[in-house]
Structure 1
Amino acid sequence: MNKTEVRSYVREQFSVLTRQEREQRGRKLHRQLYQKSFWEHAKIVAVTIDTYREVPTRPIIEEAWRAGKTVVVPKVDRERHTLDFFKLTSFMELEGTRGLQEPVPTQCEQIAKETIDFVIVPGLAFDHAGYRVGFGGGYYDRYLKNYQGKTAALAFSFQLFPSLPIESHDIPVHHLVAERSS
C-alpha cells in the first residue's frame, strides 16, 4: 500500500468507530502510557489536541495536569511549514483552525524545543519500527529532525502495519503504545 491508500484505509476504520468505542479503547492505551518510565519522568509533555481520527488526547492532557506536568500543544505555522509549541493551562486557551484545535498564541507562552522532555507524535499508521504515516504535511518530521527528547505514539490495532512506505526524511518514534491485534 502507498501512503494515500494507508491513509484512506485508516480513516475508514476510524469512521466506523463510535465515539464511545474510541474513548473506551483510548482509555486502555492511556493506562499503558501512564505506566511507562518516559511518561513518569517527563516534566514537559507535548501533545496534539485530537480529532475524531486519532486516539483521544484530552484525557492525557488532564492526567498530565493532575500529575503536575507542563503540557504544551502545537500551533501550525503554514507560512514557515513549522510547528511551534505553547503551554496550555486550560482548554479555554484553544481556538479552531481548519478543523484543528490549536493554542491562542496571545494567551499562551511559547515553549522552546530544548525544554520539552517528551512528545506524543500523532499519526494515522505506524509500523513496529516506529515509522509512521502522518496526515501529509510533514510538520512533525521537520520538528523532530533535531529534537533530543523522547517520542512515542499511541495506536489502535487497525493503525498498525508490518511495514510502511518510508522516505528519507521520515523519523520514527522511540516508543509505540499500541493495542494488540485481535
Structure 2
Amino acid sequence: MTSKSDLRAELLMRRRAMSDADRRAASLAIAQHAAATPAFGRARRVAVYLSMSSEPGTGPLIEELFTRGIEVVAPISLPDHTLDWSLVEPGAPTTTAPIGMDEPIGPRLGPGTPSTCDLIVLPALAVAHDGHRLGRGAGFYDRALAGVDVPRCALVFAHEVLPDVPHEDHDLPMQMALTPQGLFRVL
C-alpha cells in the first residue's frame, strides 16, 4: 500500500492541476447533492470547515445551509493543535489562521461544540470505501472529534473516493462522503 505521505503528495498535485472553473463547478454540485441528502435536510446545526483554494469549496454548501435556516459553526485552530468553534454568519468577515485555513471571527463556542451538531463536514484528501479518511496529517479533527457521536461527512472530488487509504487506529472513519457526482455512503 502507498504511504500516507506519498498518497497525500499525489492527491495534492492532482488538486493543484484542476482549474478554478472545475473546482467552482464541483463546489456547486456538492452543494446541490447536500440539499438532496436527508442528513443535511434534518440538521439544525452543522459544523463545516471554511475551504482552502485547492479543496472542494464549502461556500456554496454554507450558503445552502443558510438558505434552509441551518446554523453553521466552523473550526478555529489553536496553537496546541486543538480546535475551538465559532458561528459562521452570512457575509461576516473571516481571518486566515497561521496554518493557512480561513476561520470565522466571533465568540468562541468551546471545544465541545461538535457534540451539539447534527452533522460534521470535514476536509479530506481521500475517503476509502470503508470510511477511512486521509487528511493533511496534523490530526486536528481526529483529536477534536474523538468520542463525539455525530455523523461525519467528508467533501472530496470523485477521484478521491478510493478502495483503501492508509490509516491508523486513531483515525476517525466517515459515515459518508459528498462528491460532485453524488453521495457515497459507507456501509
On whether the aligned pair clears a TM of 0.5, the verdict is yes
TM-aligned CA deviation for residue 158 of structure 1: 2.4
Question: Equivalents in 2 of 1:161, 1:147: separation in Å?
Answer: 25
TM-aligned CA deviation for residue 96 of structure 1: 1.3
Q: Is the 8 A contact 1:88 1:108 kept in 2?
A: no
Question: Equivalents in 1 of 2:166, 2:115: separation in Å?
Answer: 30
Runs of 4+ in 1 over 3 A off after TM superposition: none
The residue matched to 1:121 in structure 2 has which SS? strand
Query: Which deviates more from structure 2 when the two are superposed, residues 89-98 or residues 16-25?
Result: 89-98
TM-score, length-scaled by structure 1: 0.91
Q: Which runs of 5+ in 2 are unaligned?
A: 182-187
TM-aligned CA deviation for residue 91 of structure 1: 4.2
The residue matched to 1:32 in structure 2 has which SS? helix
CA shift digits 1:100-120 (9 cap, x unpaired): 11122xx33516332111100
User: RMSD across aligned C-alpha pairs, in angstroms?
Assistant: 1.5
Give the structure 2 partner of residue 153 of structure 1: 154
Question: Equivalents in 2 of 1:9, 1:92: separation in Å?
Answer: 34
Give the structure 1 partner of residue 84 of structure 2: 84
Give the structure 2 partner of residue 167 of structure 1: 168
Give the structure 1 partner of residue 130 of structure 2: 129
Give the structure 2 partner of residue 95 of structure 1: 95
The residue matched to 2:61 in structure 1 has which SS? helix
Give the structure 1 partner of residue 17 of structure 2: 16
What letter corresponds to residue 130 of structure 2 in structure 1?
Answer: A
Query: Which deviates more from structure 2 when the two are superposed, residues 86-95 or residues 1-10?
Result: 86-95
The residue matched to 1:71 in structure 2 has which SS? strand
TM-aligned CA deviation for residue 179 of structure 1: 4.8
TM-aligned CA deviation for residue 53 of structure 1: 2.1
TM-aligned CA deviation for residue 19 of structure 1: 0.7
TM-aligned CA deviation for residue 159 of structure 1: 1.4
Query: Which deviates more from structure 2 when the two are superposed, residues 161-170 or residues 91-100?
Result: 91-100
Q: Aligned residue pairs: how many? A: 177
Give the structure 2 partner of residue 48 of structure 1: 49
Give the structure 2 partner of residue 110 of structure 1: 109
TM-aligned CA deviation for residue 41 of structure 1: 0.6
